[in-house]
């Protein structure tokens, strides 16, 4: 499986809220939806836990480490140059 994004690429976490459409399992933190970050590292392809949680067949999806500026996410607690590193699957990311 070929990763869509390389290390250093600016990405945007989709501003999607599937939990409003019915029961689901989501690994993408709500506070990151609609936020931009930078791919730090491609971690490889893994079976999608959003499907595995419901015992559905799960395609492999590419997983990334995405780096965010912490002050942009948590303004009251973040200080430059604090960073936040999060694992996010490719289907939650788009080019920034």
| Domain 10-95 sits in CATH 2.30.30.50 | yes
**Of the candidates 4, 12, 14, 16, the residue with the CA atom closest to the CA atom of residue 37:** 12
Cβ–Cβ under 8 Å, residues 54 and 32: no
**CB 78: neighbour CB atoms within 10 A?**
16
Residue 22 DSSP symbol: S
- Which of 8-12, 22-26, 77-81, 82-86 is predicted with the least confidence, judged by mean pLDDT? 22-26
pLDDT in tens, 19-63: 888 777 788 999 999 999 999 999 999 999 988 998 999 999 999
**Beta strand residue intervals within 19-59, DSSP E:** 36-47
Where are the chain's structural domains? 10-95
């Amino acid at each position: 499986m070929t990763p869509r994004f390389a290390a250093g690429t600016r990405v945007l976490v989709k501003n999607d809220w599937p939990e409003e459409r019915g029961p689901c399992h989501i690994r993408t933190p709500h506070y990151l939806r609609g936020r931009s970050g930078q791919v730090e590292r491609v971690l490889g392809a893994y079976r999608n836990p959003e499907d595995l949680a419901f015992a559905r067949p799960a395609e492999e999806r590419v997983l990334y480490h995405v780096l965010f500026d912490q002050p942009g996410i948590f303004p009251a607690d973040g200080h430059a140059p604090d960073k936040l590193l999060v694992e996010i699957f490719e289907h939650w990311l788009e080019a920034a």
